[in-house]
Amino acid sequence: MNDMNIDQWKKANQIYALLMDLTVSDALTRLSEMDELGDELKALVLNLISSGNEPSQYFKQQVSSSFQLDAINAIEYKPGDTIDDYQLLEELGAGGMAKVFKAKKTEAVSQKPVAIKLFNRGEVSPVLQNRFAIEQEVLSGLSHPNIVNMHHGGTSSKGVPYIVMDLIEQAEDIDEYALKHQVSVKQIIKWILSAGKAIAYAHNNLIVHRDIKPSNLLIDGEGRLRVVDFGIAKLMTREDSPQKTTIMALTPSFASPEQINSGQLSVTTDVFSLAAVCLALIIKELPFPADRLLKSCAGDEEHVWQLLKTKIKDKDLRNILNHALQHDPAKRYRNMDLFVDDLSAWLSDKPVMATPDSWLYRIKKFAKRRSALFAALSTLVAMVVIGIVLLGWQIEKTQAEAAKANEVKDFMLGVFSVVNPDEAQGESILAKDLLAQALAEIQARKFQDIGTKADLLVAMGQAQLQLGLNQAAKGAFSAALEIDNDSVQAHLGDLKIALSEVDFTAAIEQIEQLDLLLAEDDVHRADLLLLQAQLSIHYHKDYELAQKQSLQAQNMFLKAENFTGYLTAARQLANILYIQSAPETAAKDLERELALALKKLAPTHTIVLAIKNDLVELYNDVGDYPQAIKHSSELIDDVKKVLGPQHPFLIQAYISQAGTQRATGEIAAAKNSANQALTLSKAINGERHESTARALNFIAVLHYVDGEIELALENMQQAANIFELILGDDHPETWDVKTNLTALLNMSGRYDEAIATVEPVYLKQVDVLGAGHKSTIYSQTVLARLYGDVGRLDEAQALGEEMLNQAIAELGMDHPLTAGGHFSLAQIYQQQGKYKSAIDLIVSVIESEHWDENNERAIGAYNTLAGLYLDHDEVLSAIEYKEKSLSVAVNILTEDSPRVWVQMLNNLEFYITLKNPEKVRVYMTNISEVFKRNEPVNEKHQLRFAELQAKAEALN
């Protein structure tokens, strides 16, 4: 290479350095405007841009043998150097911007080596410093077995940023490892699955990696995959996170089209890149043409499809990768979880979403998985097919098409009745799969009697509603109404879905249409009345009218001898009582109905199980825990014995049981029950389902009760993400879980994020649900407390007082949210130093005629009041209510409950603060005796007791 060429390459690299912080399109535009450059020099710059995200490496390969690199590319550190407390041992890898070294602490005697990543440039621009800062922030918030863990970050004495991370022993890039060991396609897919789950975890934490490529997927010495290098990750929660990808941050062979073309980035960006890596590993070559960056990805789809057709023989795997590698992000898998699910299904020889569904396709997959069972079933299927063929021939022969069509309809309805949970008896997964197959078959099949098709679609929709598959049900009902717009059952199904989605406008329209379709004595008039009652409850807030409509429906069901309908109305009447703050009456009425139900129905009928679950929740609310435990145990035992351990009813039963265990202070047992609900929901419904989100929500609450705020936040965020994904941002359950998330963010000191989360939720609730709805009041309570915590006390007081007035007017004085409103406003008054006003608020609650001291809420109320009296220098009153809080806890839960131990420890700390040695000695003795009697005691309680003992000794 002559001096002229060297100078040209050097000049090209300098120009590249000027363009590296621009997007591809901006960089190319800027380069084309540099008229002073010759075509040869521009071509060299284009080579650098096309070479990937390590242009300096490419540059050095061309010129390093001919001249010494200038200062901008000088290596600042080498093995043997020290960075703060670490000595660099050996270089593990290098990129265009950074190097990674194996290192050890200089002072430590026994230690595990670590990896240190640091810039290898003498000067670090603000852009690059920000990139390192983002990587530190990302890694500090992630903890996953397939993501490298960060220890800490810092800046060396020379001003070079660095990150200290876990050292991945014997690490190799995934492509090098796969080639060296000649791994199978299935092993590659297993690695991609691991990577996908780790990246999905990052997505759930609102992080997009944006640089997935083989060198960022490492295989360690044990064959485990680790995702590394979040240096250009996008934090979706940060306004300053880059929205576009610069050429510095691009790897053209694996970047998504939207990265190259400066489009909007999302989780589908990572789906594309991971699929590109997967394809490259399988075919052992790069998945895109070398000039795709300069052509703005124009030939991507045709190039990929040719590779898939010629080099991926398995149709399902080809379809999966093609779906993930779509040029348009909207046509790809919506999120990483869906991509992972399809890859997992492929590994298990199950049907995949990327392949069009059909009856024949599912039979083929089933036959491949279960060859022996399929051989037996095929005989039975053949008999059924022969019977249907003969029946069809007979219909045609006798030309009695209408009559025989009814016979076929009845036969088909009988076949599909197995998907009803009352008859399926626990086979929920089979039911869901069978529904999908049946629906596809109905849509594809040509019926001589079009009414048969409509009836079958309605049957599918009703079964899907019972399994909680609302969107699938909506599609079935819509298809039925296209055939027969007068189908009452389809309209009723649509009405149920509209009410569940809080689409009151659509609900009112459906009610008006049904009112015209139904005669006064129509058997479906009772169903309509029940749904009208729901509209009266949630939209009109007219509980008296709702009660009247439900009673009328109940009488109509009774007259028609529809006992299931009668009990459904009874459940709704109990719910109306609960909403009106009469849970004791609701429980009493449901107990009477349950006794009646058990005389006529099996103990495992869905309506009986639903009533038992309602009773558990009602008894939890009134504090009658023995009754709650009784019904909860019966419910779970009945379902397991008769319906099996995989029945959907167990999900809510476990959550209700966890609620009872939480109230009685058995937090470990509650976590176990809630985790059983989560595991079962994932098995039955998958990762993205309302039941899964509800279980995560409850687990988050339990972590909060146990003081594990970070775990609570993690689970609550996952629940919020699922609800937002499947129900949308405007659904009541999404709002509720976001309000819960806000409360946790507030406790973690993330005030700005908390306010940004709950304010839009509150405004939407006011608009859709109304200011007096309990969900709106709850969000208003959380927002008022949040304003108080950030010092916006005047706003907090105004919002808190408005909230309390709404709660009293709409919910009544004895509703739990009203009591909570008193406590929240009292806290705001306390923050303002208005102790007397705060005390008066709490006293007004505990002195009301509806106050029930035999309830766990009383424990918190008395503790709050004790703190307020202490702030107001009324020590004797503070002591009085501290003792009352313990007395109530013992009375409700007994001295052997962990919840009581917490109260005893709180009281001990209270008396240590008051420097009351006599009371301290009494509590020390009592706690020691209780712990001794209940050995072994939770380590957390033991540690806290030890800390308080040390404080008590210091007091003496």
DSSP letters spanning 272-321: HHHHHHHHHHHHTS-SS-TTTTTTTTTTHHHHHHHHHHHH---HHHHHHH
Question: Are 149 and 183 members of one domain?
Answer: no
Highest mean pLDDT among 362-371, 579-588, 751-760: 751-760
Residue 502 within a domain? no
Q: Which pLDDT tens digit goes with each residue over 636-685?
A: 888 787 667 877 778 888 998 998 888 777 888 999 999 999 999 888 77
- The type of residue at 621 is D
pLDDT at 795 over 90: yes
Answer yes or no: are the C-beta atoms of 788 and 827 closer than 8 Å.
yes
- The type of residue at 761 is V
Highest mean pLDDT among 260-274, 454-468, 670-684: 670-684
Q: How many other CB atoms sit within 10 Å of the CB of residue 289? A: 18
Helix (H, G, I), strand (E, B) or coil at 858: helix
Helix (H, G, I), strand (E, B) or coil at 217: strand
Q: How far apart are CA 305 and CA 289, in angstroms?
A: 13
Closest C-alpha among 429, 520, 502, 505 to residue 469: 429
Highest mean pLDDT among 210-219, 271-280, 899-908: 271-280
Q: How far apart are CA 692 and CA 684, in angstroms?
A: 10
Closest C-alpha among 738, 757, 752, 763 to residue 792: 752
- What integer pLDDT is reported at residue 471 of this predicted model? 72
Determine the angle formed by the axes of helices 185-204 and 267-283, rounding to 10 degrees: 170
DSSP letters spanning 536-603: IIIII--HHHHHHHHHHHHHHHHHTT-HHHHHHHHHHHHHHHHHTT-HHHHHHHHHHHHHHHHHHS-T
Answer yes or no: are the C-beta atoms of 48 and 41 closer than 8 Å.
no
Residue 675 within a domain? yes
* 392 contact partners, CB below 8 Å, separation of at least 6: none
Alpha helices in 812-874 (DSSP H): 816-831, 835-846, 856-871
Question: Are 161 and 180 members of one domain?
Answer: no
Q: Which pLDDT tens digit goes with each residue over 34-60?
A: 766 767 777 766 666 655 444 344 444
DSSP 246: B
- What integer pLDDT is reported at residue 284 of this predicted model? 92
Of 354-363, 493-502, 742-751, 913-922, the poorest mean pLDDT is in 354-363
Which secondary structure element, helix H or strand E, spans residue 915, and what is its range?
none
Residue 64 tokens read as: 């390093």
Question: Are 684 and 754 members of one domain?
Answer: no
Residue 528 within a domain? no
Percent of the chain, pLDDT > 70? 77
The total of structural domains in the chain comes to 6
Query: For 826-851, b where at least 16 C-beta lie within 10 A, e where not — what string?
Result: bbbbbbeebbebbbebbeebbeeeeb
Q: How many other CB atoms sit within 10 Å of the CB of residue 594? A: 19
- What integer pLDDT is reported at residue 122 of this predicted model? 47
Residue 756 tokens read as: 């940004």
- What integer pLDDT is reported at residue 421 of this predicted model? 47
Half-sphere CA count of 322, side-chain side, radius 13 A: 22
DSSP letters spanning 43-107: HHHHHHHHT-S-HHHHHHHHHTTTS---GGG-----TT-EETTEEEEEEEEE-SSEEEEEEEESS
Question: Are 318 and 194 members of one domain?
Answer: yes
Please state whether the peptide bond connecting residue 936 to the residue before it is cis, i.e. omega within 30 degrees of 0.
Answer: yes
pLDDT at 408 over 90: no
Residue 523 within a domain? no
State which of 355, 380, 410 marks the end of a domain. 355
Residue 660 tokens read as: 């009872």
- What integer pLDDT is reported at residue 485 of this predicted model? 87
- What integer pLDDT is reported at residue 407 of this predicted model? 39
Q: How far apart are CA 438 and CA 320, in angstroms?
A: 23
Question: Are 178 and 312 members of one domain?
Answer: yes
Q: Which residues pair with 98 in a beta bridge?
A: 119
* 848 contact partners, CB below 8 Å, separation of at least 6: 813, 814
- What integer pLDDT is reported at residue 4 of this predicted model? 46
The maximal CA–CA distance of the chain, rounded, in angstroms, is: 103
Q: Which pLDDT tens digit goes with each residue over 731-764?
A: 888 888 999 899 889 888 899 999 999 999 999 9
60 is in an annotated binding site: no
Answer yes or no: are the C-beta atoms of 120 and 77 closer than 8 Å.
yes
Separation in Å, CA 122 to CA 71, 242, 272, 294, 548:
7, 24, 35, 30, 80
Residue 744 within a domain? yes
Q: How many other CB atoms sit within 10 Å of the CB of residue 2? A: 8
End-to-end alpha carbon distance in the chain: 85
Closest C-alpha among 158, 146, 233 to residue 195: 146
Q: How far apart are CA 588 and CA 608, in angstroms?
A: 15
Closest C-alpha among 447, 507, 522 to residue 479: 447
Question: Are 898 and 758 members of one domain?
Answer: no
Per-residue confidence at 718, pLDDT binned at 50, 70, 90? very high
Between 331 and 26, name the one with better pLDDT.
Answer: 331
Question: Are 15 and 131 members of one domain?
Answer: no
- What integer pLDDT is reported at residue 892 of this predicted model? 77
Question: Are 180 and 317 members of one domain?
Answer: yes
Answer yes or no: are the C-beta atoms of 713 and 745 closer than 8 Å.
yes
Per-residue confidence at 440, pLDDT binned at 50, 70, 90? low
pLDDT at 781 over 80: yes
pLDDT at 532 over 80: yes
Closest C-alpha among 268, 353, 370, 281 to residue 316: 353
Question: Are 818 and 887 members of one domain?
Answer: no
Residue 742 within a domain? yes
- What integer pLDDT is reported at residue 429 of this predicted model? 39
Question: Are 58 and 111 members of one domain?
Answer: no
Question: Are 276 and 137 members of one domain?
Answer: no
Answer yes or no: are the C-beta atoms of 535 and 520 closer than 8 Å.
no
- What integer pLDDT is reported at residue 802 of this predicted model? 94
State which of 355, 387, 413 marks the end of a domain. 355
- CATH number where 119 lies: 3.30.200.20
Residue 373 within a domain? no
Domain extent, residue 200, equals 174-355
* 558 contact partners, CB below 8 Å, separation of at least 6: 566
State which of 796, 817, 845 marks the end of a domain. 845
- CATH number where 676 lies: 1.25.40.10
pLDDT at 192 over 60: yes
Per-residue confidence at 71, pLDDT binned at 50, 70, 90? very low
Question: Are 745 and 827 members of one domain?
Answer: yes
Percent of the chain, pLDDT > 90? 26
Residue 280 within a domain? yes
